[in-house]
Amino acid sequence: MEATRAHHRTTAPFAVPVALAGTSGAAVWWDLPPLTGLWVFAFVLVAWLLSLSLHEYAHTVAALHDGSGSRESLPATHGAHPLLSVLLPVLFLVMGGIGLPGGAAPAERRGVAGRSRRGLVALAGPATHALLALALAVPFRLGAMDQAPLAFRFALAFVVMLQVTAALLGLLPVPGLDGYGVLEPWLPRGLRHRLEPAAPYGLLLVFACLWIPAVDGAFWDCVYPALEWLGVRQDDIYYGLEFFRFWQEEPVVRL
């Protein structure tokens, strides 16, 4: 009985965004009124929120499975901060059209024995985005999206791009991001204490650096080859972003 209740507690939070993603995706596919861009916005936003939830859930699962066979070494919650883990990534998406993942929550690593395992807990977040990118890009690799409605193809391409950028940015060794969490257990204690106050600002620092043309260009020079390998075209991503910003004039594309 307890196992059944735990299962429902785990799956219930994901049921709503999955249903919303399916509904908005269907609306994009069938080009339902009132506005294609509005449905693309809803589909991309919900898909992004769902990926952020899976990111945090992966941290929790990795932390709870600490190799000891015990599930009681950590609290049930992963300690994700609503501002750092949800609101800021959504704001970065709307403002910059980029998938910058949420800030790492140190609480999810507390109680995990061993530096290697704490690093793996941090790595679980970017790995989730990488796996989502691979899974969502399968139709592109197979050529199936060539027969899909253009608006849906653009929207899904944009979602894949968000996952790729989230995986790459999440691996940066910047305090506050998971990439730093992979390295942090191996750093001297004194250095960890000095860097800890910078963690809440890591996300903002990365986002600000991406406004520097040289940094932004170098970053996309890494992103686009990965997307090309996945079979996702730059033009599809561009139009996906244009439809996502429905408050602007929709691109002139024959649907």
Residues involved in catalysis? 56
Q: In 171-212, which ranges are continuous DSSP H helix?
A: 178-183, 189-195, 202-209
Lookup: tokens for 56: 């945090």
Structure tokens at 227: 């997307």
Separation in Å, CA 135 to CA 17, 38, 53: 18, 25, 17
For residue 188, give Cα distances in angstroms to 104, 191, 193. Answer: 19, 5, 9
Q: What is the dihedral of CA 144, 248, 89, 139, to 10 degrees?
A: 0
Q: Single out the residue of 101, 96, 98, 97 nearest to residue 84, CA to CA.
A: 101
- Written as six digits, the tokens of 221 are 């020079």
CA–CA gap between residue 226 and residue 144 (Å, rounded): 19
- Signed CA dihedral, 193, 108, 77, 45: sign only: positive
Burial class of residue 31 in the structure, from the number of CB atoms within 10 Å of its CB (0-12 exposed, 13-18 middle, 19+ buried): middle
Cα 211 from Cα 92, distance rounded (Å):
12
Q: Largest Cα–Cα distance in the chain?
A: 59
